[in-house]
Structure 1
Amino acid sequence: MSGIPLSPGMPRDADGPVFNAPWEAQAFAMTLALHERGLFTWPEWAEALAVQIAAAQAAGDPDTGDTYYRHWLAALEGLVARKGASSGDELARYRHAWEHAAGRTPHGQPIELRGEDFPG
């Protein structure tokens, strides 16, 4: 995985990042794509992630590694909103729609967002 910046604390093995679930890999890929498109620099990303993790630890996160990508996603959402690529309200709208769609999707099937997943 040469050329891909790795963040401190990122779960990894000799080959690079390790993901426990598909959504973790997707969050990682989204972050790289937004960075490569110039939405933020890698130092900006590293700072956003460090602040998110520090806040979680201050709030009692046990730092066992199983919450790393939850912090990753929260940091990404915050950075995207701060950069003006989306608003916090819009992110919350899509988060709600995703949760609604996930609730109606049988286990093992791809989740599809539909119009009815978004609040009226």
Structure 2
Amino acid sequence: MELTSKQARHAATAVPGVPRDDDGPVFREPWEARAFAMALALHEGGVFTWSEWAQTLGEEIKRAQAAGDPDTGETYYNHWLATLERLVAAKGVATTELLHQYRDAWDHACDRTPHGKPIELKAEDFGNASSR
């Protein structure tokens, strides 16, 4: 999915707390932009409303703060990702187990990839992920 500026600005204003400037959302790392784009695509696909998203995101932030998150803004997209995973599982798009399987496979792929080289997910990453 290609994220347009108009879509990004709308999402950034629809969900309170999104780090942004006058042009729209601001990301410190590429994965943050990808997580933002995935949430936008799922919203546009009708998986959840922005109200559902904002409520669940607020719950994730409160949960993290109760566990000691310093709430400096640097962990905002960690909460965004946790919200994305939670809603994807709750809405039946993917199970929590499947999400964990892919996370573990990506971790394995990262571990075996030399620095500076593209990370490629291979079938072997899934086999090793389950034994880790």
Partner of 2:50: 42
Unaligned runs of 5+ in 1: none
Moved over 4 A (4+): none
Deviation at 1:5, TM superposition (A): 2.1
Quote the sequence identity (%).
Answer: 62
Deviation at 1:108, TM superposition (A): 3.0
Deviation at 1:8, TM superposition (A): 1.9
CA deviation map 1:69-88 (0-9, x unaligned): 01100110000000011101
Deviation at 1:111, TM superposition (A): 1.7
2:61 counterpart of 1:73: no
Q: How many residues align?
A: 120
TM-score by length of 1: 0.93
**Separation (CA, whole Å) in 2 of partners of 1:82 and 1:17:** 26
Match of residue 97, structure 1, among 84, 91, 105: 105
| Higher percent of residues as helix | 2
CA deviation map 1:40-91 (0-9, x unaligned): 1111111111110011011110001111101100110000000011101010
Deviation at 1:13, TM superposition (A): 1.2
Unaligned runs of 5+ in 2: none
Match of residue 72, structure 2, among 45, 60, 64: 64
TM-score by length of 2: 0.85
**Separation (CA, whole Å) in 2 of partners of 1:9 and 1:53:** 11
Per the alignment, in what secondary structure is the counterpart of residue 5 of structure 1? helix
**Separation (CA, whole Å) in 1 of partners of 2:115 and 2:21:** 29
